[in-house]
Amino acid sequence: MKRIFDIDPWLITTHELNSENKRLQESMTSLGNEYMGMRGMFEETYSGDTHQGIYIGGVWFPDKTRVGWWKNGYPEYFGKAINALNFVKADIYIDDQKIDLARNPFSDFELSLDMKTGVLNRTFTVFGVQVKITRLVSAAMKELMVSHYEFMSLDGVAHRVRFDATIDADVTNEDANYDEQFWQVLAAGHEQQTAFMATQTMPNPFKVPQFTVVARQSFQGGTQQAAHETEKAVTDTFNIEVPAKGQASFEKRVIVTTSRDYDDLTATIAASQHLTETIQSTTYQELYQAHQDEWAQRWAKADIQIVGDDAAQQGIRFNLFQLFSTYYGNDPRLNIGPKGFTGEKYGGATYWDTEAFAIPVYLGVADPAVTRALLQYRFNQLEGAFHNAKMQGLKGALYPMVTFDGIESHNEWEITFEEIHRNATIAYGIYNYTNITGDHSWFNGYGAQVFYNIARFWADRVHYVTRRDCYMIHGVTGPNEYENNVNNNFYTNWMAKWVLGYAVSHYDEIDKAQQAVLNIESKELAHWQDIVDKMYLPEADIDLHGKKTHIFVQHDTFLDKDLTPIADMPQTIRPINQHWSWDRILRSPYIKQSDTLHAMFYFPDAFTTEEKQQNFDFYEPLTVHESSLSPSVHSVLAADLQMADKAVEMYERAARLDLDNYNNDTADGLHITSMTGSWLAIVQGFAGMRVRENKLYLKPFLPEKWQQYSFRLVFRGRVLEVTVNQKETTVALISGKNLTINLLGADVFLTSK
Amino acid sequence: MKRIFDIDPWLITTHELNSENKRLQESMTSLGNEYMGMRGMFEETYSGDTHQGIYIGGVWFPDKTRVGWWKNGYPEYFGKAINALNFVKADIYIDDQKIDLARNPFSDFELSLDMKTGVLNRTFTVFGVQVKITRLVSAAMKELMVSHYEFMSLDGVAHRVRFDATIDADVTNEDANYDEQFWQVLAAGHEQQTAFMATQTMPNPFKVPQFTVVARQSFQGGTQQAAHETEKAVTDTFNIEVPAKGQASFEKRVIVTTSRDYDDLTATIAASQHLTETIQSTTYQELYQAHQDEWAQRWAKADIQIVGDDAAQQGIRFNLFQLFSTYYGNDPRLNIGPKGFTGEKYGGATYWDTEAFAIPVYLGVADPAVTRALLQYRFNQLEGAFHNAKMQGLKGALYPMVTFDGIESHNEWEITFEEIHRNATIAYGIYNYTNITGDHSWFNGYGAQVFYNIARFWADRVHYVTRRDCYMIHGVTGPNEYENNVNNNFYTNWMAKWVLGYAVSHYDEIDKAQQAVLNIESKELAHWQDIVDKMYLPEADIDLHGKKTHIFVQHDTFLDKDLTPIADMPQTIRPINQHWSWDRILRSPYIKQSDTLHAMFYFPDAFTTEEKQQNFDFYEPLTVHESSLSPSVHSVLAADLQMADKAVEMYERAARLDLDNYNNDTADGLHITSMTGSWLAIVQGFAGMRVRENKLYLKPFLPEKWQQYSFRLVFRGRVLEVTVNQKETTVALISGKNLTINLLGADVFLTSK
C-alpha cells in the first residue's frame, strides 16, 4: 500500500504529481453535487495519461449488447453512465508558452481537496508565475460549476496570460466498445458574452429518451480577445495581465441545464442563459460562501469525530463527503450510482447497494423523507420489475441488478438472470425503514405492492423436490460474485424464506385498498407458508482446526472445494480478480464479499451468537474482500462477536478503501456505495446500534488506539449525540422528545438538556 | 414440420418461392468446394428478405469483445467467419424491366439442387422470357464459380436482356455488432475484358493477418455495352438478344484468389488474371463435365443407398453432399466449420465436432491421410493450446472451443473457460484414428505431444478433496450446454480419467525422441495414476417408474432438479432455447445433447449393456436434442441396445435435421458438422460397426420400413461393401487383401471376388 495523499482530518492533499498515479489522484479529488460532478482532472492541457470524466445525474445511454444476445430473455442493451461534454477545459498560455504539467518544469505543486468546504484547490509555479485554481461544483445552485484562478508573478516581472476557455463535445467513454461517441451537437454559439453548446445523446432503437445537455460558460476578469466555434467545441479567448507585483484573478463559470428539467431545446438553452444572468453580478466570494454554508450544514448533522486516529478520521469524512456529493435526496428521480460522478465503470445508476448499504446510513443521518424518496423510486419502477420477472418467465416483480429506469440494463447472464438475491434486499430496505422509523404507513401503502410482488417472484422461482420433500432454489449467484450459477445458496434461500414469511405474517396489516390491487388468494398465502416451512437450507457439521463446527453452507457443493485459507496462499495472487482467470476464481473457495454472513449482518437477532461465531470463523478466512462492500459487513459482525481487533481492521479497510486503493482499482473511480461502510462499522459495529421492537439499543466499545469517537444519530424525531471515550459512553438528546433507549444492556431515560 | 423441398433421392427441389422461407431455402441450396462457397441466394436483385452470404475457407476476422472483458484471461477477440465480397451479383433487365422476383409477377418457378452433379438449377418465366440459371462452384478448379444463363422467349417475340454483372464489396456480416464492415477495397478495375476487385480485411490490433481476396469476372456470350467502377463495386454491362424463337446463352465466370495462396497483392491479382486466361477457351460444357466427374468419384466411394425410404435416402445424401462441399481434405490448413459456407453464425472454423463426429466418418469413407491431415492440424496448433492453458493458469495444452489458428477465439466464459471436455475429445480423435487404422505411428510420434500435453492439463485441472480422499473437477460445462458451471460432470470426469489412464499405460510405447521433448518424470506419471485411481464419478440409485435403477449422475446436484420428462411438458415450449430465458433452461433438467451418454457413444465396450440401458432410459426422456449433434449419438446407442424404433426415429431426425428444420434455426445456415450424424447412425448404429483389437465387427439390422441399405467402408487398405436387406446381410471385399471380420457374432473370412 502506498498512500498518495497526506493524512489530515479535513484535507486530501498531495505535493506530488506522478503520472503513474494521475488517474488515482483524479478519482480521489472528484467533486459532485448530486446533479452533476466530475473527476479531479486538470482544467488546462495535460498531455500525460488522464481520464477526463464529467457526468450528469440521470443522463445515460442504452448501448447495444451482442455477446450472449442469442440467449432468450437477454437485455437488449447495457445502460451506460456517459461522459458528458467537457466544460471544465481550458488551454492556458503564459507569455505564449502553453501550460502542460506533463511537459513543463514546475515547482510548488499542491493539490488539495477541502472536505469541510467542498472545494478542490490546486497550486503550482510555472514559467515564473504561481497559479492557484479553486474548483467548486455548487452545493447551493445545482447547475453551477466555477473554476477560479489566481496568477501571481514570482520572478518580479509582469506576465501575460492567454486563457482559451472551451466547452468540448468531442468526448468518448472509457468503456465504449468502438470508441464511438454517444453525443451529437445540436446547437452552439456565442450569446451576450457567453458561449454555449447543446448536445444530445445519439438516437437509440430502445425507446430510451434522448437527453439534451446545455453547458454555458461566462467569465469574470480578463479581456476577451476572440471567440470561435468548431464542429464540436466553442472557445472564448481572454488575456489576463499579471503585474510584476501582486496578482490577477480570473474566473470561468459554467451553467449546465438539461432536458430532464426543461421541455425542449429552446427552453433548456434559455434556462442556461437565464441562470447565467442571475449570478452575473454575484461575486466569487458570495458563490463560494453559499456553497460552503451548505457543506457546513451537512457536516453539522453528520460529522463523526475520531480523536487519536487521523487516518481513520480522514477516512470516514472522505466517505461521507463523497456519498453526499453523489446523493443528498434532492431529486426523487435519482439514485446512488456505484461510481457516482467519479468514473463510468459498471454502468447503471441503481444497484441493490442502495437498500443494503445506503438506506441504513441515510436513516441515521437524515430525515426519513430521504429514505422514503429512495423507496418511492422503487415503487415508481414497479412496472419495470414486472417486465424483468416476465423476461424470465416468472410471476411477480424482479427488481433489476442495474438500471436507470427500472428495466434491467446489465448484460451478463450470471448476474442479470441469477443474482436475484437483490430482490430480497429491496424488501429488506422496506422492512428496515419500517423497523427503524416505526412508520408502517409506507409498507402498508405503496410498499405492499413492492413487497408482495417480490414475494410472488420468490414463490414462483423456487422448485419443489419430491424425493426430498423440500423447496430449493437452483441456479443463482449470491452476493459472492466469485461463484456463479450455484444451487441452494444459503443466503438467497434464507432471504427468500424471510420475504415469504414476513409477507404472510403481515398480510392482514396492509391497507385493504392495497390488498384489492394485489388480489392474493388465501391459497396463495398458504402455498407461501408451505415454502417457508419446507425451504431447504444447507448446513453441515465440519471439522475446523480440530474443532467440531456447525455451519450454514454457502451452497450445495461448497465443502468439496479446496478450502485452503487465503492467508496460506502467496500474496502475489491478490487481488485474485487481477491474477486468476475467471474459471479459477469460480472454483476457488475465495469469497468476494460476505454471503452467508450477509444474512447475519441484516438480521443479527435471527441467529445465535454461537451460530454467528462458527460461521464467521469458517468464512472470514476464505474472504478476500475484493468487493468494496465486504469489509464493513465483517466489521459490524466482528464487533457483534466482540472481536474488537478484527472489527477495527475491517473498519480501517472500509474507511480507507479508496484512499489507500486496497483493491487496486480506484483509478477507475471511487466506490461510492461502499462509502457508507465506515459509518455502518462505527455506528452499527463499534457502537452496536440496533432497533428492536421500537427501542434503540446501543452497546459501544472504543477501539484500543482511539481516544474518543462521537457521532450524531437521527431516531424517530430526535437527534442524539453519542460520545464514547476511555472513561465513559454518553448519549445526549440534542433535540426532540424524551426517550428511553437501551445503553449497554440497561434502559436509560433521555431528556433534553 | 413443413417441408419446403420435395422428397427425391438425388434432388432438393421446390416450385414455390415464399418470402417467409427464403433464408431457409438459401441455406439448403448452398454450394461449396472446401475452398469457398455460398448460400443459395439469387444472382439477380431480390428486394425481399434474404441473407447474401459468400465465404472463403480460412479467411476470418478477429472482432473485439467487450462484454466480460474485465474477467482476467478473457479472449481478446471473437473470431468471425466473414461474409466476403459478393461476386455472384447481377442486375438483369428484360426489355428495360428489372427482374426482381419479390415484385414481378412470374411463373414456372423451379429451384433445384442436384446433389449428384453438384449444381444449383433455377428456372422461372418473367416478362415473356424463360430464364434458366445453373450455378456451380467447381470441384475441379477450386478458384472457379460459374453462373450459366439461358434465356428463351415464350411469347413469340424477340427480347433484349441487359445484364449488369457486379462484384460488390459493400457487404456486412449478419452478426456484426454495429453493422461495421470488415473489408476495405485495395484495388479494382478492368483488365483485358475482365473486371476485378481486390479487398482486404480491416486492420486489427491482435496480430491476426489481414487477408486479401481478389475476385475477377469474365464472360461468355452477349455484347459488352459498358464497364464502370464505384468506390465499392465494379460492374460490366452486357446486351443479350433473345430471338423470337430459340434461346440465347450467357455466362459469368468468377475466379477467386487470396493471400492465403499468393505472396502479395500483385501476385494475387496476377494469379486471378492467369487463371481466368487458362479457361478462356474452355467451354461451359467442359467446365461442367470436369466438375461433375469429381462429384461422381466422391459418390462412387461414399454413397449410401437406401431402398424403400426416399426421405431417408435424400437425407443421407444431402448430408454427405454438404459435408464434402465443406471439407474434402485438400488443404491441411483448413478444418470443418460448423456452418461451412452456409452462414456466419457461431464464428470460428474448428470445433471439437471435428474429432467427435467428422473423423469417424472420414475414417470410413476416405483415405486415412484425410484424417491425418485433421490430426496434424491440431499438432500444428499446439502452441496455441499451450497459450490457452496458460491463460487459465494451467499446465499443458488446452485446445480451444472455437478457433481459426489455435488461439481460443470464443467469448462466453461458461464455454471458453469451462467447456473443457473438448480437450479430451482431441485425445479421443487420436485414439480413434489409431484404433481404427491400426497405425500407431502418428500417436507415437507427433500425436504424443498433443496427447500428453492434454493429459498434463487434466492433471493440473482436477483438485484433491481431502475430506473425501478423491479428485474432483469443479466448474465445467459438459457437452450439454444447457447446464453451465457444474461440478463433477460425469462425462468430463470420466473422459479426464480415460485420458490420464491411456497416457500412463501407453507411455512406454511412444518414440524416445518424443519422450525427451515431453520430459515427463516418473513422479508425474505416478500422480496421474493416482488421479485415475481416485477420480470421483457421481452415481446413484434412483427410482425410475417404480424400478430401482442405477445411473451415472450428470453432475453433483442434477437429481435435485424437477425431473419432469420433456414429453409431459407442453409442446409450445419447444425448442426451449427460443421460449425460455437462459436461467430457466439452466435449472431445468432438459439436456441439449448427449452428455453422460456421450461417454457410452465413444466407448461402447467400456460399459455393460445394463449400464447403457439404465442410463439411456433415464437421460433420453430428458433430452431435447436442440443440438444438431444429439440425435445421431442416441441413434447409435439405441441401435446398440436393440431399440430399433428409437434408433430409426433418431436417425430420421439426424438425417433430415436441416431439410426438415427440426430446431427452427436452419435459416441461419446448415449444421455442417452434424451432417456426419446420419452416416454414424447407419454405419455405427444400424450396421453396428466397431473395431476391437484390430478386427472389424458388424452386427447389422434392417429398419422395418426399409427394404435394403448398402454402403461402402474403407478399412485398413480394403474397400468393403455392406448390403443389408430382409433376406440377408452381405459383405463384399471390393478391393484390397483378404480379411477376417466378425459379422453378426461370427468370424468371416473375406476374399476378393
Question: B72: distance to nearest CA of chain A, Å?
Answer: 5
Helix, strand, coil percentages (3-state) for chain B, rounded to 5, are 35, 25, 40
Q: What is the rounded CA–CA span in Å between residue A363 and residue A372? A: 10
Residues in Cβ contact with A384 at an 8 Å cutoff, skipping those fewer than 6 apart:
A400, A403, A405, A406, A407, A408
Q: Which of A708, A688, A712, A682 is nearest to A700 (CA)?
A: A688
- Rounded average pLDDT over A569-595: 94
Cβ distance A474 to B412 less than 8 Å, yes or no, reads no
**The CATH number of domain A33-174+217-255+280-301 is 3.30.360.10:** no
B582 neighbourhood in chain A, CB within 8 Å: 68, 71-74, 413, 417
What's B22-55 look like in SS3?
Answer: HHHHHHHCCEECCCEEECCCCCCCCCCCCCCCEE
E strand or H helix at A137, and its extent?
strand A129-137
Name the residue in chain B with its Cα closest to that of A577: B72
Q: Contact at 8 Å (CB) between A473 and A489?
A: yes
Domain range summary for chain A, segments of one domain joined by +: 33-174+217-255+280-301, 367-549+556-571
The yes-or-no answer on residue B294 being catalytic is no
Nearest-Cα distance to chain A for B630, in Å, is 20
Is B578 labelled as part of a ligand binding site? no
Q: Strand locations in A53-128, DSSP E?
A: 54-56, 60-64, 77-81, 90-94, 97-98, 107-114, 119-126
Grid cell digits, residue B461: 485441472
CA–CA separation, B290 vs B146, rounded Å?
13
Could you tell me the CA-to-CA distances from A700 to A678, A687, A715, A737, B707 in Å, in that order?
Answer: 15, 4, 17, 23, 90
Is B178's Cβ below 8 Å from some Cβ in A? yes
Instruction: Tell me the three-class secondary structure of A430-450, residue by residue.
Output: HHHHHHHHCCCHHHHHHHHHH
Residue with cell 460461521: A615
pLDDT digits (tens, 9 = 90+) for A671-708: 998 899 999 999 999 999 999 999 999 999 999 989 99
- Portion 571-590 of A in contact with B at CB < 8 A: 577-587
Between chains, do B472 and A67 touch, taking CB under 8 Å as contact? no
Cβ contact, residue pair A417, B581, below 8 Å: yes
Helices (H) and strands (E) counted in chain A, each on its own, are: 21, 31
Q: Which of B177, B560, B585 sits opposite A487 (nearest CB)?
A: B560
Q: Would you state the pLDDT for residue A63? A: 83
Q: What's the pLDDT score for residue B476?
A: 98
Helices and strands of chain B, counted as H and E runs: 21, 31
What's the confidence (pLDDT) of residue A65?
Answer: 64
In A217-246, the residues whose Cβ lies within 8 Å of chain B are none
Distance in angstroms (rounded) separating the CA atoms of residues B375 and B380: 9
pLDDT higher than 90, residue B596: yes
Confidence of residue A205 (pLDDT cuts 50, 70, 90): confident
- Give the mean pLDDT of B60-76: 71
- Dig out the grid coordinates for A252 from the structure: 470561468
From A477, which residue of chain B is nearest by alpha-carbon distance? B583
Pairwise CA distance, residues B276 & B34, whole Å:
20
Per-residue pLDDT band at B551 (split at 50, 70, 90): very high
At residue A1, the pLDDT reads 62
Q: Is the peptide bond before B575 cis (omega within 30 degrees of 0)?
A: yes
Cell numbers that stand for B178 in this block: 454495429
Q: How far is CA B581 from CA A392, A411, A418, A651, B590, in A?
A: 5, 13, 11, 41, 13
- Kindly state whether B560 is in contact with chain A, defined as any CB-CB distance less than 8 angstroms: yes
Nearest to A472 among B65, B560, B586 (CB): B560
Q: Give residues with Cβ within 8 angstroms of B466, minimum separation 6.
A: none
Q: 3-state DSSP call for residue A572?
A: helix
Chain B CB within 8 Å of residue A570 CB = no
- End-to-end CA distance of chain B, in Å? 46
ipTM (interface pTM): 0.88
Write the pLDDT tens digit of every residue in B351-372.
999 999 999 999 999 889 999 9
Closest CA to A473 of A504, A507, A499, A505: A499
Q: Which residues of A are annotated as a binding site for substrate?
A: 352-353, 592-593
**B68 interfaces chain A, CB cutoff of 8 Å:** yes
Residue range A383-408: mean pLDDT, rounded: 95
> Is the pLDDT confidence value at B347 over 80?
no
CATH 1.50.10.10 fits B367-549+556-571, yes or no: yes
Q: How far is B663 from chain A (nearest CA, A)?
A: 14
- The predicted-structure confidence for A345-387, as pLDDT tens digits, reads as follows 777 789 999 999 999 999 999 889 999 999 999 999 999 999 9
Task: Kindly report, residue by residue over A206-265, the tens digit of the pLDDT.
Answer: 889 999 999 999 999 999 999 999 999 999 999 999 999 989 999 999 999 999 999 999
Instruction: Supply the pLDDT for residue A64.
Output: 75
Q: What is the mean pLDDT of chain A?
A: 94
Report which of A349, A455, A261 is spatially closest to residue A57, judged by C-alpha positions.
A349
Check residue A202 and report its DSSP letter.
P
- Which residues of chain A neighbour B553 with C-beta distances below 8 Å? none
Which residue among B178, B393, B412 sits closest to A581, beta carbon to beta carbon?
A: B393
Is residue A541 predicted with pLDDT exceeding 70?
yes
pLDDT of residue B133: 98
**Residues of chain B found within 8 Å of residue A177, distances taken between Cβ atoms:** 64, 66, 177-178
B108: left (phi over 0), alpha (psi -120 to 50) or beta: left
Q: Which of A507-521, B65-79, B174-188, B389-403 has the lowest mean pLDDT?
A: B65-79
| Residue B419 scores a pLDDT above 90 | yes
Give A70's contacts in chain B (Cβ within 8 Å).
577
Catalytic option among A251, A294, A481, A652: A481
- For A178, the closest of B178, B392, B577 (CB atoms) is B178
CA angle A320, A28, A365 (to 5 degrees): 5
State the pLDDT confidence band at A663, using cuts at 50, 70 and 90: confident
Question: pLDDT tens for residues B460-499?
Answer: 999 999 999 999 999 999 999 999 999 999 999 999 999 9
DSSP-derived secondary structure letter, B577? G
- The percentage of residues in chain B with a pLDDT greater than 70, rounded to a whole number, is 98
The partner residues of B583 in beta bridges, in order of sequence, read none
Percentage above 90 pLDDT, chain A? 87
Q: Which residues of A touch B71 (CB under 8 A)?
A: 581-582
Whether residues B556 and A557 touch (CB distance < 8 A) is answered with: yes
Report how far residue A452's alpha carbon sits from residue A395's, in angstroms, rounded to the nearest whole number: 11
Contact A67/B at CB under 8 A: yes
Q: Give the DSSP letter of residue B683.
A: I
Output the known binding site of A: 352-353, 592-593
The predicted-structure confidence for A20-33, as pLDDT tens digits, reads as follows 999 999 999 999 99
Kindly report, residue by residue over B107-128, the tens digit of the pLDDT: 999 999 999 999 999 999 999 9
**What residues 390-419 of chain B have any CB closer than 8 A to a CB of chain A?**
391-393, 411-414, 417-418
The Cα–Cα gap between A321 and A32 comes to 9
Touching check for B177 and chain A: CB below 8 Å? yes
Q: Which three cell numbers stand for residue A520?
A: 392474493
pLDDT bin (cut points 50, 70, 90) of residue B70 is low
Question: In chain A, whose CA is at the least distance from the CA of B473?
Answer: A587
Euclidean distance between CA atoms B540 and B521, whole angstroms: 37
B390 labelled ligand-binding: no
A581, A585, A588, best to mutate vs chain B, most B CBs in 10 Å: A581
Q: Give how far B555 is from chain A: nearest CA, Å.
A: 11
